[in-house]
Amino acid sequence: MAKPAHILVVDDHAQIRESVTRFLERNGLRATGAKDASDMDAKLAVGQYDLIVLDVMMPGEDGLSVCRRISAEGGLPIILLTALGEETDRIVGLEIGADDYLAKPFNPRELLARIKAVLRRSSRDEPAAGTLAGKRVRFAHLVLDTDRQMLCGEDGGETLLTSAEFKLLSVFLERARMVLSRDQLLDLTAGRTAGPLDRTIDNQVSRLRRKIEPDVLRPRIIKTVRNGGYCLATDVEVRE
């Protein structure tokens, strides 16, 4: 039997931290709390975790800084907890690598649903690359090494993708030249539907473009289709 996923809940508010960890454990997950970024780093150094629930507003190193640091290292999936109405935090969080966000105050059942959706997409037993797992994929001027989640350029340079960027790019590569709506992309990458003001996919596409487009102001690889969504506008060659 597979071990339950281990969630690290990072929040300086003791009552929220403890109530969330208890709720997750009652619903079949393992959960450990951390009161701030330093406490989180100490626990990551000695334990194995599958996902981080991370509060944005914390003393010391804040959640956005932590998210940027972990994502830059190609680290664990992250769900941000943001203050209600702080849209800027949510947008920035998605741009720097968070996999999802939830505004406080929140329903613990919604947090649980989002955790399960992110875990499904990042599970080691269900490769995020789907049919491309274990292969090298050439498109435009780049090659994606799916084993390492690494982009390789013609000049020999390498760029590490975050888990969210890798999942989104894999979806595009598996459906090259198909127009995909924002709802389709969100379902394929995060297993959920978009709200009326949900900009998750737009922000993730913007972040991915910065890593693959020669000119982000005139994107040629991932094109925006008016009233349609997005399309990978290049041929794809898959190699073993």
**Which residues lie closer than 8 Å to 48 by C-beta, 6 or more apart?**
6
DSSP SS3 for 149: coil
What's the DSSP call for residue 131?
Answer: G
H/E stretch holding 9 reads: strand 6-10
> 151: closest CA among 212, 233, 87, 232?
212
**pLDDT (tens digit, 9 = 90+) per residue, 13-70?**
999 999 999 999 999 999 999 999 999 999 988 888 999 999 999 999 999 999 988 8
DSSP SS3 for 95: helix
Tokens at 38, concatenated: 């330093």
**pLDDT (tens digit, 9 = 90+) per residue, 199-225?**
778 888 999 999 999 999 999 999 999
Question: What's the CATH fold of domain 6-122?
Answer: Rossmann fold (3.40.50)
Indicate yes or no: pTM above 0.75.
no
6-10 and 179-180: which strand pairing?
unpaired
Exposed/middle/buried for residue 181 (C-beta within 10 Å: 0-12, 13-18, 19+): middle
Helices (H) and strands (E) in the chain, counts: 8, 13
Cα atoms in the 13 Å half-sphere on the side-chain side of 151: 22
What distance in Å separates the CA atoms of residue 161 and residue 151, rounded to the nearest whole number?
Answer: 7
**pLDDT (tens digit, 9 = 90+) per residue, 94-144?**
777 788 888 888 899 999 998 988 887 766 444 455 578 788 999 999 999
Q: Which CATH architecture has domain 130-239?
A: Orthogonal Bundle (1.10)
In the chain, where the domains are located: 6-122, 130-239
